[in-house]
A = this chain, B = another copy of it.
Amino acid sequence: MALTRADAAARDAADPLAAFRERFVFTDEQRIYLDGNSLGRLPVATRERLHALADDWGDRLVSGWPDWIDAPTRVGDLLAEAVLGAQPGEVIVGDSTTVNLYKLCSAALDLGPGPVVTNRDNFPTDRYVLEGLAAQRGVELRLVDDIESALDDAAVAVISHVDYRSGEIADMRRLNARGARVVWDLCHSAGAIPIGLRDAGVELAVGCTYKYLNGGPGAPAFLYVADELQPRLRSPIWGWFGQRDQFAMERDYDPVEGIGRFLAGTPPVLDLAAVEEGVKLTAAAGVDRLREKSLALCELIIELHDAWLAPLGFELGSPRDGARRGSHVSVRHPEAWPICRALIERADVIPDFRGPDSIRLGVAPLYTRFVDVYDAIDRLRGLVERGEQRLVDPERARVT
């Protein structure tokens, strides 16, 4: 292991995206944040935008609506083109990932009822939405270890594009070609890796904006429906924002053409402004360049893992092959939970823990530096060498 901190610093000096770090708020330069895959940082522009938008509300009141009302589709169009490899008119932003998953899975079941399937270890809300729909519709829920072979005789599947625990990338094109209609969960890929939804033949997808897209805590999620499929689909939640000629009040429900039919209630204007600023930064950097840097950062984690952590009982919990890995690297250890707490409390490094034994080290190439990775793994190595994880109160509540 010849890599030194100076080598890492040299990579930062040569990083074409280095200047983006200045576009985020940093209040503590000692702390190393490797959890942008859970909650992204605050962009400087977002703070300003929120101030301006509050003032806009205060000043213009209801007359601001003509400028606000298009935010779900405006931000959706930006996401579509800059981040998702989709077309304008295929994406809206609003509601939570969970609610959007519900809308699309329900709509997909309308097109062809039958068993619903997902990975047994998929993110909980993905499983719960399907479990609830299966109960509601009287169809079978299948939780499987091998999703690919389960697709042929299922009606609807939910698959995470990047696995929240291992970071493994699923092959969208291949899995779309099987029998089931797949609703893709892009929470851990949007903004982190190039996503060619149209190229991969994706019909339906949702994803969150508070991770790599830096939209803020609990920011609204997005929803994608391929243009060709839109006329055949209806949201289960019929609401006034999905209605044709919305302000002509005395009509039966008649959904608008296009993606807007998946809107339901009044859009959250403040939050959408925050999402827009976050997406703009990703768009400005470019997903391809972000991916290139993310790969290099993750490779550095793996190099340092092999050199420093493996001898301490760690195992890699993510694919070694960068082409199969998203923007975080999980390292596994029997004492992962107390190690994770010790990292936060004693070493000022913020990763996150995912049970039973994974520490996720997420890199957000808009603001994570090579020296951050170097220092974080160095601190991790030191504290495990010193056994500091045994000094942590095991009862501490965990919320991440």
The residues of A with any CB-CB pair to B shorter than 8 Å are 24-25, 27-28, 33, 35, 38-39, 41-42, 46-47, 50-51, 54-55, 57-59, 61-66, 68-69, 95-99, 102, 121, 123-125, 127-129, 131-132, 136, 208, 210, 216-221, 234-243, 246-253, 264-272, 274, 344, 350, 352, 354-355, 397-400
Contacts and interface: CB of A to CB of B under 8 A. Distances in A.
A129 B235 CA distance: 11
B54 A39 contact: no
B247 A398 contact: yes
Nearest to A126: B240
A399 B65 contact: yes
Contacts of A123: 240, 249
Contact of A350 (B28, B35, B61, B125): B61
A42 B57 contact: yes
A394 B69 CA distance: 21
A24 B399 CA distance: 35
How many copies are assembled? 2
Given A98-B266, A219-B270, 4 more contacts: A96-B266, A102-B239, A128-B253, A216-B270
Contact of A98 (B50, B59, B132, B264): B264
A121 B250 contact: yes
B58 A27 contact: yes
Looking at A208, A251, A269, the one whose CB has the most chain B CB atoms below 10 A away is: A269
B217 A68 contact: yes
Contact of A238 (B24, B55, B64, B128): B128
Contacts of A28: 59
Given A61-B41, A240-B98, A270-B216, A397 B129 contact: no
Contact of A125 (B38, B239, B248): B239
The 9 closest A-B pairs by CB, nearest first: A96-B265, A132-B238, A42-B58, A98-B265, A98-B239, A25-B58, A217-B269, A125-B240, A128-B238
B128 A239 contact: yes
A220 B268 contact: yes
Contacts of A398: 247
Contacts of A131: 238, 252-253
Contact of A218 (B33, B267, B355): B267
A144 to B, nearest CB: 14
Contact of A271 (B63, B242, B270): B270
A266 B218 contact: yes
Contacts of A270: 50, 216-219, 270-271, 274
Nearest to A96: B265
B54 A132 contact: no
13 contacts: A25-B59, A42-B54, A47-B54, A102-B236, A121-B250, A124-B249, A125-B240, A132-B253, A208-B266, A218-B271, A218-B272, A247-B399, A249-B354
A51 B25 CA distance: 13
Nearest to A102: B237
Contacts of A127: 253
Contact of A61 (B33, B47, B121, B355): B33
